[in-house]
Amino acid sequence: MNSNRQDSQTRDAVVLIVDDEPGSLRLLYDTLEKAGYTVLVARDGASAILRLQHTSPDAILLDAIMPGLSGFDTCRRIKTNPLWAHIPILFMTGLSDTSDVLQGFDAGGVDYVIKPIREVEILARLRAHIVSAREIRLAHTAIDKAGLAIVRLDVHSQSVWCSPGVEPILQRLEIGTDNMNDSTWWANLLKENTTNLCIRALGDTTNGETLLLIRPQTASSKARDRVSRAALTPRETEVLSWIAKGKTDREIADILGISPRTVNKHLEHTFTKLGVETRTAAAALANQNFISTQD
């Protein structure tokens, strides 16, 4: 198969080229068209933004230095619009100083290609970013359809993306959302002991971002948090689980191969850690915790 042709993962992809140099524009246009892409062009930043109001390309090749609105400023404007923020932007420029490269990434670019452009390199980079962006969008669509409220935070705890379900939950709990994109907003919210909001970390992504699951606090999630904070030992957890199933001390002792007195000692420690006084209260809390883990 010709490596310059599109495969199934980039089929029907649209690329917007933004460059004020006619020669560079023509070379890129021919290269991408030959590789099977649908190509759009703009001669400056303002024209590129107008283009985006009518179409949503799969990627943007953006010249960093242009008269009028620079490529860096164009990128910043694109990234502030939720409808366009997902589009990967690859900078093209003759500048190669570290400060220029960093400026491109700070503006929201995902890659940086030094002119003169090499055909094989630009096609390889373009394909990689289009495939990655499409996979992310598929994941976002699945999250939306599942009705999950998910937040992606970057390494600075700044919101990169929120599913549509996040903001209604926060607003319903009267948590202001005006500063959700501020670099300290989520960090401060995570530090707060919010009784009506359950925030669960789902782990880190490959690029260091963090995924959070947002839910209104329910009786079961409160129980889960309470049991988690109690820091029960493995044996105390075992005893509690059998208490929740209605077993007596002697029955638990026979199951675990320990004495009833030892079972009673474990229960005393468990009651203290959970802040309950009766077997019934401990069993109810354990059952709520079990239900919450199935949510």
Q: CATH number for the domain including 101? A: 3.40.50.2300
Residue 25 lies in a domain: yes
Tell me which of 198, 217, 236 is where a domain ends. 217
Q: Strand pairing partners for 114?
A: 93
Higher pLDDT, 181 or 16: 16
Mind listing the pLDDT tens digit for each residue in 246-278? 899 999 999 999 999 999 999 998 888 888 888
Which range has highest mean pLDDT (105-119, 169-183, 252-266)? Answer: 252-266
Percentage of the residues of the chain whose pLDDT score is greater than 70: 83
**Sheet (strand 111-114) strand order:** 38-42, 14-18, 59-63, 89-93, 111-114
Under the banding of pLDDT at 50, 70 and 90, the label for residue 71 is very high
Where in the sequence is the domain holding 273, given as residue range(s)?
Answer: 220-293
Assess whether 204 and 248 both reside in one domain: no
Under the banding of pLDDT at 50, 70 and 90, the label for residue 291 is very low
For 153, phi then psi, to 5°, come to -110, 140
List, as one string, the DSSP characters of 215-254: EE--HHHHHHHHHHHHT--HHHHHHHHHHHTT--HHHHHH
Q: Which residue bears the tokens 């675990």?
A: 256
Assess whether 204 and 224 both reside in one domain: no
Assess whether 154 and 210 both reside in one domain: yes
Assess whether 129 and 202 both reside in one domain: no
Tell me which of 179, 200, 217 is where a domain ends. 217
How many helices and strands in the chain, by DSSP H and E? 12, 9
Across the range 17-38, mean pLDDT stands at 93
The SS3 call for residue 78 is helix
Assess whether 176 and 281 both reside in one domain: no
Residue 8 lies in a domain: no
For 161, phi then psi, to 5°, come to -160, 140
Give CA–CA dist 293/290, Å, rounded.
Answer: 5
139 Cβ contact list (under 8 Å, min separation 6): none
Tell me which of 143, 163, 182 is where a domain ends. 143
Q: CA triplet 264, 270, 276: central angle to 5 degrees?
A: 105
> By C-alpha distance, which of 70, 38, 43 is closest to 56?
38
The CATH number assigned to the domain holding 267 equals 1.10.10.10
Residue 193 lies in a domain: yes
Rg (CA), the chain: 27
Residue 82 lies in a domain: yes
Assess whether 183 and 282 both reside in one domain: no
Residue 208 lies in a domain: yes
| Number of domains composing the chain | 3
Q: CA triplet 247, 251, 254: central angle to 5 degrees?
A: 145
Residue 55 pLDDT > 70: yes
